[in-house]
Chains A and B, each alone.
Chain A
Amino acid sequence: MTNLLEVSGLTRKFAGLVAVDNLDMQVAAGGIHAVIGPNGAGKTTLFNLISGLLPPTSGRIILAGQDVTRLPAHRRAALGVARTFQNIRIFGAMTVLENVLTGLHTTARATLPEVIFRLPRFRRQERDAVAQAMAALDLVGLRDQANSRAASLSYGDARRLEIARAMAARPRLLLLDEPAAGLNPAETTRLADLVRTIRSAGTTVLLVEHDMGFVMDISEDVTVLSFGRRIFGGPPLAVRQDPAVIEAYLGHKVAAKLAAGATTGVRGA
């Protein structure tokens, strides 16, 4: 299987803190890959590095064979990297449809004169964009709310709007930063279905998540970070048995007890 994303030797330091430490990671094309780890493990920093919001201190990021390490965020968006944010960042004053249309910014080709004089290419572009945006709203089930103010959406709907906005331009790589946070179990199940639909439509999904049930359910590959370092990489079933992972989540005392068989019935995290 080929890799869509390859990260090698990636390091990001904030003053004295090493948030991401010499990280090597591969994300297979067409898969669902989860990054987990305790709070402060560097997961969101990793997402900011991949989406281009932060420059790395050292290391390389390769997207589909192209080195994108030095490219700013908007160039990576044009190459097919889309993302959502842990603390939802939709444009509240705009309508739901307008939010999704901003996600199609990279597809716009009309020049300023074409825009001002409403020439055919501009009109065609807007028409196509609306159709594509409505398709993205269909994907997440928000078509009926297209003309509502984005700030008026419920929390769960706002999360889905953010996914629709990220998916509008059909990205190659979708980064989901804690998509299940704050969702109830029914909403989480719907989210899992949505992520699977997105993957089968051809977009590779890389997600950060704390909901272990969700992660185990949908991901094919898991990377575990602790203090910016990769301590595990492999299929979800192997994660729970890994001693280093158990220690990172539960501390070395509990891990030692578990290893000695003193406690039974402790679930993964």
Chain B
Amino acid sequence: MTIPPWLDDFLWTYGNLVHALGVNGLLALSMYVVLAVGQLSLGQAAFMGLGAYSSVLMTQQLGLPFWAVLPLSVLAPVVFALVIGLPTLRLSGVYLAIATIGLGEVLRAVYLNVDLFGGALGLSGIPERADNTMIYGLLLAAILALWLVGRSGIGRAMEAMREDETAAAVMGVNLLRYKMGALVASAALAGLAGCLNAHVSSFIGPGEYGFEPAVTILSYALLGGIGTPIASVVGAFILTLLPELLRELSDLRLVLNGVIIVVAVLFLPGGVLPFRLRRRAA
């Protein structure tokens, strides 16, 4: 397959941005899954970091091929999701959010201080094993799967819990099981995003998976909306493109970026796409 010259130029200039759009779309979906059952997690960046570090170690230390590394990259984040979720999801309230912030900070300290993870310098020289086909293929597959699940009895139960947990429990919804399932799916998606991102950017470091990126990922879903999976992805696209589009403004860029987000949240409380999944008309 030959790539036309204009596309080649475009990818040469904006390759990183194209990767980032797809990866951030996956992260937005990972946030969406948790918010869709009415929970708040701030551990998406930490799960992403676990996927990134574990996959790079598999590539560099164990020499595993990428077709094995990519699926295995969900393992570490899923295990941590279970460890964090089992005690906190039994409680109602913000315990999951607090525990996931803690997870991110603990892991950052571990990456910084354990030689295996490269300390403050991070891990570099990562071979470029992932590409846009994999990133966007997974993104599309994830959107489709979440959309199909959303338009089923499972999706109804998720929306019911988000609206009124007590009423949902009385309808027979096993709240703990759904919350755990959502958190595990969310951790797996973030882990895949971390693995893909690490294998297109040649370097990963402990600063990329702390509290600030966690809040950025949350804002993807809040800006886009959580009524449909696609809405959160649109939110990620907007927030990833915005700084690039405002590049001309140099110093004012971050200010305007912030103003746009604040205005959007104030005037579009349901997100840019506040629609909900349509299910079954009679």
A interface list, Cβ under 8 A from B: 51-53, 72-74, 77-78, 82-83, 85, 89-95, 97-98, 101-106, 108, 110, 112, 115-116, 118, 122, 125-126, 129-130, 134, 146-147, 165, 169
Contact = CB atoms under 8 A, between A and B. Distances in A.
B163 A130 contact: no
A15 to B, nearest CB: 19
B188 to A, nearest CB: 13
A97 B282 contact: yes
B282 A93 contact: no
A125 B170 CA distance: 21
Interface residues of B, number: 27
Nearest to A88: B167
Contact of B157 (A95, A105, A169): A105
Contact of A94 (B160, B166, B170): B160
B172 interface: yes
A53 B153 contact: no
B159 A94 contact: yes
22 contacts: A53-B166, A53-B170, A74-B169, A77-B170, A77-B172, A78-B172, A89-B167, A93-B159, A94-B156, A97-B281, A101-B280, A102-B157, A105-B156, A105-B157, A105-B173, A106-B171, A112-B154, A115-B149, A115-B153, A118-B148, A126-B280, A147-B282
Nearest to B227: A93
A2 B279 CA distance: 42
A115 B156 CA distance: 13
Nearest to B167: A89
Contacts of A103: 171
B180 to A, nearest CB: 13
B282 A102 contact: no
B280 A130 contact: yes
A130 B282 contact: yes
Nearest to B174: A74
Contacts, number: 98
Contacts of A72: 169
A242 B103 CA distance: 62
Contacts of A106: 171-172
A45 to B, nearest CB: 14
Contact of B163 (A77, A92, A115): A92
Contacts of B170: 51, 53, 73-74, 77, 82-83
Given A89-B166, A94-B160, A77 B152 contact: no
B97 interface: no
Nearest to B166: A53
User: Which 3 residue pairs are nearest across A and B when measured between Cβ atoms?
Assistant: A77-B172, A106-B172, A73-B169
Most buried by B among A83, A98, A106: A98
Contacts of B140: none
B276 A91 contact: no
Contacts of A89: 164, 166-167
Contacts of A78: 172
A99 B279 CA distance: 11
A57 B208 CA distance: 49
Given A72-B169, A89-B166, A94-B163, A122 B156 contact: no
Contacts of A126: 152-153, 280
Contact of B280 (A93, A97, A105, A116): A97
A102 B169 CA distance: 10
Contacts of B282: 97, 130, 134, 146-147
Most buried by A among B152, B159, B276, B281: B152
Given A77-B172, A102-B160, A102-B171, 14 more contacts: A52-B169, A77-B169, A78-B172, A90-B167, A94-B160, A97-B280, A102-B157, A105-B160, A105-B173, A106-B171, A108-B153, A115-B154, A129-B153, A147-B281
